[in-house]
Amino acid sequence: MGDAAPLSEADPLAHFVTRGEFSEVRQDVKKLERDMAEVQTMQGTQGGQLSQILANQDAQDKKLDNLQSVRQWIGWVLVIVTSTGVVQITSHLVGAR
């Protein structure tokens, strides 16, 4: 009895998956396929949301660029007006002497 081969070596069919075990494996595979389809659907939805977020960000960036341009024009106008005022005041003061 001590010389008997282990069951796995003695029974060549011990390495094969039985039909019952195979159906369990198939059920697991089907569940994984359903889960994978759900994940792909969620990724597609999130991809659409990301595209919308990026479009909104681009629109906001354009608005900010326009606002910056307006601020620059206002700044230049203030510089010109201030410079003109300083020149007029200085010429008046110099001319008054």
What's the pLDDT band for 84 if we cut at 50, 70, 90? confident
pTM: 0.47
Domain ranges within the chain, ordered by starting residue: 8-96
* Tokens linked to 50: 């990301």
What DSSP line would sit under 23-76, residue for residue?
HHHHHHHHHHHHHHHHHHHHHHHHHHHHHHHHHHHHHHHHHHHHHHHHHHHHHH
* 17-55 confidence digits (pLDDT tens): 666 777 777 888 899 999 999 999 999 999 999 999 999
- Please calculate the CA angle 46-48-49 and round it to the nearest 5 degrees: 65
